[in-house]
Structure 1
Amino acid sequence: MIENIINNLKGQLTGELQNKYNLQPDTANKSVDLAKDNIMDEVKNRAASGNIGGLMDVFKGNKGASESSAVDGMIGKYVSDLTGRLGIPESIAKQVAPFAINFIMQKVSGKVSSGGVSQGDLLGGLMGGNLKDTLGKGLGGLFK
């Protein structure tokens, strides 16, 4: 589900990265893909460990992205990926990362809070399948 949301806003975010940070089109496009990967990885890891509540508060709009340690962690890893994998200078990556992650989180939050996407759909899509089975495995069978 989040993949669909990000894919729908990819053109807009790619354009923003090109305009605001002078990234080349290919680099901006790859930057959005890396942002998506970082968000999905963080949510998968938190869901598997049973520590998804804080991040879900951001998705539901109950908490700002800047208030979340999960989002801070995503931004830090994303900076590292932008510099290491795409060769973006660290000074630029430190500007791009919070902008891109917050942009995506706000769009996802808007979809969830408007009722366009349910929490179950969001988590189920992030986990790549059946939410009950995935959480059941990740939380020691609690939901089986």
Structure 2
Amino acid sequence: MIENLINGLKGQLTGELQSKFNLQPDTANKSVDLAKDNVVGELKQRASSGEMGGLMDVLKGRKAPDDSSATNSIINKYVSDLTTRLGIPESVAKQVAPFAIKFIMQKIGGQASAGNISEGDLLGGLIGGGLKDKLGKGLGGLFK
């Protein structure tokens, strides 16, 4: 569910990254894919470990992304990925990362606040993926 929401924002966010940070179209596009991977990865990790409390408040639009340790964790990892995987200078990555991650989190929160997605939609996709990964590893890859 969250991956679909982020994919729906991709064009808009890619355009923002190009205009605000002068990223080339291909780099901006890859940056959005990396942002999605970082957001989804962190959310799945937290969902599977039961650490969703404050993060659900952000996803449901009741808490600002700046007030979440999960958001900050995503941003820090994303800065590293932008520099190491895409070769974006660290000074630029430190501007792109907070913008892109907060953009995504605010858009998801807006959809939840508007009633377009439910907590079950958010948790279902996250926990389902997290549990599938754990089961796959724990049972010799049977569910992969």
TM-score band, normalised by shorter chain: 0.7 to 0.9
Alignment of 1:11-22 (within 5 A): 11-22=11-22
Q: Normalization by structure 2: what TM-score?
A: 0.87
Rounded to whole Å, the distance in 1 between the matches of 2:128 and 2:34 is 18
Rounded to whole Å, the distance in 2 between the matches of 1:116 and 1:62 is 15
Q: What's the CA shift for 1:123?
A: 1.8
Asked whether 1:27 is paired with 2:27, we answer yes
Rounded to whole Å, the distance in 2 between the matches of 1:127 and 1:31 is 25
Q: Which runs of 5+ in 1 are unaligned?
A: 138-144
Q: What's the CA shift for 1:4?
A: 1.1
Rounded to whole Å, the distance in 2 between the matches of 1:38 and 1:45 is 11
Partner SS for 2:17: helix
Rounded to whole Å, the distance in 2 between the matches of 1:61 and 1:69 is 15
Partner SS for 2:38: helix
Aligned-pair identity (%): 71
Structure 2 match to 1:57 = 57
Rounded to whole Å, the distance in 1 between the matches of 2:89 and 2:122 is 33
Instruction: Give the count of matched residue pairs.
Output: 133
Structure 2 match to 1:142 = none
Letter in 1 for 2:9: L
Q: What's the CA shift for 1:48?
A: 1.0
Aligned Cα RMSD in Å?
Answer: 1.6
Q: Which runs of 5+ in 2 are unaligned?
A: 136-144
Alignment of 1:13-92 (within 5 A): 13-92=13-92
Partner SS for 1:116: coil
Letter in 1 for 2:15: G
Residues 39-66 of structure 1, C-alpha deviations (whole Å, 9 max, x = no match): 1111111111111111001011121100
Q: What's the CA shift for 1:105?
A: 0.4
Structure 1 match to 2:103 = 103
Structure 1 match to 2:5 = 5
Partner SS for 1:23: coil
Rounded to whole Å, the distance in 1 between the matches of 2:127 and 2:31 is 22
Partner SS for 2:115: coil
Rounded to whole Å, the distance in 2 between the matches of 1:74 and 1:94 is 12
Q: Normalization by structure 1: what TM-score?
A: 0.87
Structure 1 match to 2:125 = 125
Rounded to whole Å, the distance in 2 between the matches of 1:67 and 1:86 is 28
Rounded to whole Å, the distance in 1 between the matches of 2:50 and 2:5 is 24
Rounded to whole Å, the distance in 1 between the matches of 2:3 and 2:41 is 12
